[in-house]
Structure 1
Amino acid sequence: MVVQHRELDVIVDADCGNAPRKAQVRDWLTDVVRGDVDAACSALDDEIVWEIVGHRTRVGIGVVREALRRAAEERASRLTIRHLLSHGKQVAVEGDVDGDGFAHIVTFTGHGKAAHIAEVVTYRSSTAT
């Protein structure tokens, strides 16, 4: 399924939204890649911990907001989500942004609908040569 989001093509497997947590992560990731910092941050806990493996760990909504703001300056044209797996408070998502691969392990603050994202562990690989 291809969905157009503000100049961003989002390609996602049809069953990637068949559970509430999967849909939350899909929508959050779309906001991140689209550069909608306010929408992306609204899904995050104030004490968010975001580790980009091999690079750095950012702690707190202010620090993460600034990192997302800087990242929003780089415009992506295509987000592909190939896999979304959920279990309990965690969701794993794998895909690519303009050909650069990623995998995120996302942990929520709880099980309820009002739970926010508490932690993200990100693995990235670039296909650039």
Structure 2
Amino acid sequence: SEAYSDGWGLNKQRALAYSREIFGQFFRLRLQPQALQVQLDLGDPSRQGRATLWFVIEGSGGPLANLTRDQVNALEQPFQLNWQRRGGDPFRWELTRVENPELQLPLLPSQEQAGQR
């Protein structure tokens, strides 16, 4: 969603750039779902939904890829994904937020040079 934001301070553009840089570090990558729970608030006119997702990362790559894999796989709390239906299309849902209070995102090389978090 254009309105995407998360607890790590990322908006849509920064989240996509961050994801490309992290996942681009993998030589081999598989996100293996472990469990999924979906809640839809059908009475809500904005048609919001929330998914609780447990998954593990299988794969290997450079040091940043391996750090990410190990950190995600060690999490005890699931990821919470918030979705919202857009327009009149019942099949058009957009991701508006991802949360996991346990996850500390690693600094990317480009962020370290710029002194960002």
Match of 2:25 among 71, 74, 91: 74
**Residue 47 of structure 1: CA displacement?**
1.5
Structure 2 CA distance for aligned equivalents of residues 58 and 81 of structure 1: 24
**Residue 81 of structure 1: CA displacement?**
1.0
| TM-score when normalising by structure 1 | 0.50
Larger Rg, first or second structure (1 or 2):
2
**Residue 121 of structure 1: CA displacement?**
0.5
* Percent of aligned pairs sharing the same letter: 8
Structure 2 equivalent of residue 58 of structure 1: 10
Structure 2 CA distance for partners of 1:79 and 1:65, relative to 1, 3 Å:
closer
Note the residue ranges of structure 1 that are not aligned, 5 or more in a row.
Answer: 1-44
2:13 is paired with a residue whose SS is helix
Q: How many residues align?
A: 76
Structure (1 or 2) with the greater strand fraction: 1
CA RMSD of aligned residues (A): 2.3
Note the residue ranges of structure 2 that are not aligned, 5 or more in a row.
Answer: 41-48, 59-68, 105-117
C-alpha offsets along residues 47-106 of structure 1, whole Å, 9 cap, x if unaligned? 21133xxxx2212x2111211121122214332211100011010100211363253101
Q: Which moved more, 1:77-86 or 1:87-96?
A: 77-86
